[in-house]
Amino acid sequence: MIKIYHNPRCRKSREGLLELTNSGKKFEVIEYLKNVPSKKELKEVLSFLNISPDELVRKNEAVWKDNFKGKQLTDEEIVEAMIANPKLIERPIIIKDNKAIIGRPKELITKFLTKKINHTSIY
């Protein structure tokens, strides 16, 4: 099953959702601001993405700048920060077959769904 971690207020996330819709494939939408992932789920997503927690953080968010920027944080502390402040999670995240990508730019999504790329930490 394909999943998208989606924020409907984010233009890039909406573009990713449209790309998935246009693919004709079935998928599940997870609005992660309403349904915040558990620590276990977020760690699983990170393993599917094959990136560190720091690479999934939206560092331009005010909550990051005000509370975390410049601090030496462990991976565990960064995961906890994202769970407490889900706006910090980069989006959209597309998961398929225990692999994932951050769907930016949106063209990565089509390549990912057609297996032209397995996963990427470049966005």
Give CA–CA dist 92/14, Å, rounded.
Answer: 8
Q: Choose between 121 and 61: higher pLDDT.
A: 61
Amino acid 24: pLDDT: 94
**Catalytic site residue from 4, 5, 6, 10:** 10
Domain 2-113, CATH number (from 3.40.30.10, 3.40.190.10, 3.20.20.140, 3.40.50.300) = 3.40.30.10
Which residue in 1, 54, 53, 10 sits closest to 32, CA to CA? 10
What is the tens place of the pLDDT at every residue in 58-111?
A: 999 999 999 999 999 999 999 999 999 999 999 999 999 999 999 999 999 999
CA distance 68 to 58: 11
pLDDT at 75: 98
Overall average pLDDT of the 28-41 stretch: 97
What residue spans of 24-87 are helical by DSSP H?
39-49, 53-56, 62-67, 75-84
Candidates 41, 53, 35; CA nearest to 90 is 53
Mean of all residue pLDDT scores within the chain: 93
Radius of gyration of the chain (CA): 14
For this structure, is 13 an active site residue?
A: no
Sequence spans of domains, the chain: 2-113
